[in-house]
Chains A and B, each alone.
Chain A
Amino acid sequence: MRNVVIPVVLFGVLALVPQFALDLPWIFDGAINTPGTLQLLALCLVFGGLAMSYDLLFGFTGLLSFGHALYFAIGVYVVAIAITKWHVGFYVALALTALIGLVVALVLGAVSLRVGGIAFAMVTLAFAQAGSILVFKNPHGWTGGEEGLGVDYTKLPEGLVGIFNTKHLYWIALVYVACVFAIVRWAVNSSPGHVWQAIRENELRVEVLGLRPYSYKLVSFVLASFLATAGGVVYVLLLGGATPEVTSANFTLTLLVMVVIGGTGTRWGALLGGVLYTWANERLGDASSSHAISSLPSVLRTPLQQPMFVLGVLFILVVFFVPGGLARIGRVRRPRTMERLQEAMQR
């Protein structure tokens, strides 16, 4: 019972956020129901969901992918291209995105899962890099290359356009993250979910038991990729356009950072990591122009103005001193997931 009550209460409280003009100094710039804060909150939720989808692969199935950004980018770009360049309706664009996202994940997953461990990580990295190259190459002027691509807002439903409707986008992001949370929980506790965790623990044993790890891993890969594609759709609606940063290898690495900071293979860790990371990334950028930072000597000030530097160092510190991530804080032992993952990687 408790397992259901906590998430329901939490998501219920989050759903009421746009109705209250609560002021949280330090944490947010304005009251929590101002459009700026709502957009930041929605962004945190999208990345929280994305991090959970990555954790499904990494933390629960033991697959270290360096190409998860590709599927997020498919969500971001296909919606933008379909609406702006192919001039199709909003819902057709959504259907197209879902279709393309599924097919690409199925094909590339089927190819890359033929190898395991480090080779799998490298192949997924290479495919994601191919996607990034494609976006920068700007075929037929579709992706807009380095400049990115704005979504033609006249084609969007009215409730999603304009600064006053930010709360609707916030609710969409909340529904997204709640769905991802529910789906990941359900999938992990289902019988294929048990096989995923068994694969993470010992793939050989799963094979000996007469199961084919390949098809289970493919299901996990396609599901995680599809959830990432859905996150990309919410992201592009939230920001009103696509930028090529979401295709970069660094973007996948930041997903890894989120999941590890939060705690791999835990129920709340990835969500926590994604939300905290996004919030810190945004707020550190703002804080760098604040008085407290600008009065520091330049040796300290200059690096602190780069959120990525602070987060990278923080990440190293977490790996060293909080080995299980924030969700396992206070537990001394190194989590089993890490040991298992290591064994899985070496096979």
Chain B
Amino acid sequence: MSTFVLLTVTGVGLGALYFLIASGLSLIYGLMGVLNFAHGAFLTVGAYAMWFTESKLGGIAVLPRFLLGALAGLVVGGVFAALVELVLIRPLYRRHIEQVLVTVGLALATTALVISIWGNDARPVPAPAWLGETTTLLGAHIPNDRWLLIVTAVVVLAGLNAFLRRTRYGLIIRAGVENRAMVTALGIDVRRAFTLVFAIGGVAAALAGVLSNVYFSTVDPSRGTSLLIFAFIVVVIGGLGSLRGTAGAALVVGLVQQYANYYASSGLGDLSVVLLLGLVLLVRPRGLSASFA
């Protein structure tokens, strides 16, 4: 029983991480039709900005250092993403294939740049001691960082939902996902929403980077790419452009991965997620591609 609880909480925590990456991907695809391969790079940039800030603030206590590092990570991730949209994506407006290609090049170049500066090895990231301790729930000793992941993802989901439903910009973004031509025809500059969506996606990805630093207690240059692949799977299972679908799919993928890794055989978790994707697409090929439109 206690193992099951631990697996469930860890699975939900992992799902939270996937959701943070996939939400931005899904919004960007829904609004702009761009499959953003550079999303993993946003994560990497945010994670390294956090680690770098923390390593420069050697003198102060762990908690403020951690919070400052996290803040720096989010800001750098968001600014980087917005710059990418303005400098690289915008000039190729309406050329989706080229936009995807540019994000591919950016993903490769950013990872290589990070490796060239800080090397290929994982580096330890200091975090408050509380995150390393465990809480007992139904007899299971659960590491506290799982709770941080889950709470953050819930807050982000609620915040994004409120933003999309209650604000004017949210309205424009939702309308743009639904029918971009109509929004433009109504005299609204939808391109400003593009930059905004990229910045939001960048902040969410950087947040995932910061939290993955906590979860793995290290930072390494290849994590962005490996998490991105699962985020892609989540986005496709959940239906591109739908926030709630993404959240649900992230939860399912995280749980399936954890359960299969423990109850079947280690390493099988990743395979079963791939299998799940295959199944979903086989059962509902029309249904899913319909939601892409």
A311 contacts across to B, CB distance below 8 A: 108-109
B109 engages A308 (CB within 8 Å)? yes
The reply to whether the CB of A78 lies closer than 8 angstroms to some CB of chain B is: no
B5 interfacial contact with A, CB 8 Å: no
Query: Given A306-B113, A319-B102 in contact, is the A118-B240 Cβ separation under 8 Å?
Result: yes
Q: Are B35 and A121 interface neighbours, CB within 8 A?
A: yes
Find B233's partner among A122, A260, A338 (CB 8 Å cutoff): A122
Q: Does B285 interact with chain A (Cβ within 8 Å)? A: yes
Complex contact B105–A303 (CB within 8 A): no
A305: Cβ under 8 A from any B Cβ? yes
Contact residue among A136, A137, A249, A254 (Cβ-Cβ distance under 8 Å from B229): A249
Q: Is B160's CB within 8 Å of the partner chain A? A: no
Cβ of A345 and Cβ of B96 under 8 Å apart?
yes
Segment from B48-56, B66-74, B204-212, B271-279 that makes contact with A: B271-279
Task: Give the residue of A123, A134, A253, A316 whose beta carbon is less than 8 angstroms from that of B277.
Answer: A123
| Given A114-B282, A129-B229, A319-B105: A309 and B270 interface contact (C-beta under 8 Å) | no
Which of B104, B240, B292 lies in contact with A256, CB distance below 8 A? B104
Q: Which residue of A lies closest to B115 (CB)?
A: A306
Residues of B within 8 A of A320 (CB): 91-92, 102
Decide if B277 touches A250 in the complex (CB within 8 Å).
no
By a CB distance below 8 angstroms, the chain B residues around A116 are 289
Q: Which of B98, B108, B240 has the most CB of A within 10 A?
A: B108
Asked if B288 lies at the interface with its beta carbon under 8 angstroms from chain A, I say yes
Contact with A along B170-200 (1 / 0, CB 8 A): 0000000000000000000000000000000
Q: Check B109–A312 contact: CB distance below 8 A.
A: yes
Chain B residues 211-242 with CB under 8 Å of chain A are 225, 229, 232-233, 235-236, 240
Once the chains bind, are B292 and A134 in contact (CB under 8 Å)? Answer: no
Q: Are A260 and B101 in contact (CB under 8 A)?
A: yes
The 8 Å CB contact of A115, one of B35, B233, B285, is: B285
A342 in the interface, Cβ–Cβ < 8 Å?
yes
Q: Is the CB of A119 within 8 A of B292?
A: yes
Interface size on B, residues (CB 8 A): 46
**Complex Cα gap A257–B102 (Å):** 10
A126 at the interface (CB under 8 A from B): yes
Known contacts A126-B277, A311-B108: A319-B98 contact under CB 8 Å: yes
Interface positions, chain B 12-56, Cβ under 8 Å from A, are 29, 33, 35, 37
Q: Which of A119, A130, A257, A341 contacts B108 (CB 8 A)?
A: A257
Knowing A115-B288, A316-B88, A319-B98 are in contact, say whether A126-B108 is a contact too (CB < 8 A): no
- Chain B residues positioned under 8 Å from A118 (CB to CB): 29, 35, 236, 240, 292
Q: In the bound complex, what is the Cα–Cα distance between A315 and B98 (angstroms)?
A: 11
Q: Is the CB of B240 within 8 A of A130?
A: no
- Pair B274/A323 contact, Cβ less than 8 Å: no
CB-based contact A111/B282 at 8 Å: yes
Given A121, A123, A136, A342, which contacts B95 in the complex, CB threshold below 8 Å? A342
Tell me if A133 is interfacial: C-beta within 8 Å of chain B: yes
Which chain B residue has the least Cβ–Cβ distance from A311? B108
**Across the interface, which residues of A come within 8 angstroms of B33, CB to CB?**
346
Contact indicator A305/B116 (Cβ below 8 Å): yes
Cβ-neighbour of B97 out of A123, A307, A341 (below 8 A): A341
Chain A's nearest CB lies how many Å from the CB of B14? 16
Interface flag for A127 (CB, 8 Å): yes
CB-CB under 8 A from A114, the residues of chain B are 281-282, 285
A313 touches B98 (CB 8 A): no
What are the residues of chain A within 8 A of B102 when measuring CB–CB?
A: 316, 319-320
Q: Does A115 lie within 8 Å of B281, measured CB to CB? A: yes
Contacts of B88 in A (CB 8 A): 316
A125 contacts partner chain B, Cβ-Cβ < 8 Å: yes
Question: A129 and B270 in contact (CB under 8 A), knowing A250-B225, A311-B108?
Answer: yes
A130 touches B95 (CB 8 A): no
- Give chain B residues whose Cβ lies under 8 Å from the Cβ of A305: 116
Q: How far is the CA of A305 from the CA of B97 in the complex (A)?
A: 29
B111 at the interface (CB under 8 A from A): yes
Would you give the shortest CB distance from A311 to chain B, in whole angstroms? 7
Bound Cα distance A133, B240 (Å): 25
Chain B 132-173: CB-based contact to A (< 8 A → 1; otherwise 0): 000000000000000000000000000000000000000000
- A345 to B229, Cβ gap below 8 A? no
B236 — which chain A residues lie within 8 A by C-beta? 118-119, 122-123
Q: 16 extra interchain contacts, Cβ-Cβ under 8 A, other than A111-B278, A119-B285?
A: A121-B35, A122-B232, A126-B274, A129-B274, A130-B270, A133-B270, A133-B271, A256-B104, A302-B117, A306-B113, A309-B112, A313-B105, A313-B109, A316-B109, A320-B92, A341-B97
What would 25 A/B residue contacts be, using CB atoms closer than 8 Å? Answer: A111-B282, A115-B288, A119-B285, A125-B232, A129-B229, A129-B274, A130-B271, A133-B270, A250-B225, A253-B37, A253-B107, A256-B101, A260-B101, A306-B113, A308-B111, A309-B113, A311-B108, A312-B105, A312-B106, A312-B109, A313-B109, A319-B101, A319-B102, A319-B105, A338-B95
Residues of A within 8 A of B (CB): 111, 114-119, 121-123, 125-127, 129-130, 133-134, 136-137, 249-250, 253-254, 256-257, 260, 302-303, 305-309, 311-313, 315-316, 319-320, 323, 334, 338, 341-342, 345-346
Among all A-B residue pairs, the 6 with the closest Cβ atoms: A312-B109, A308-B112, A309-B112, A312-B108, A315-B105, A306-B112
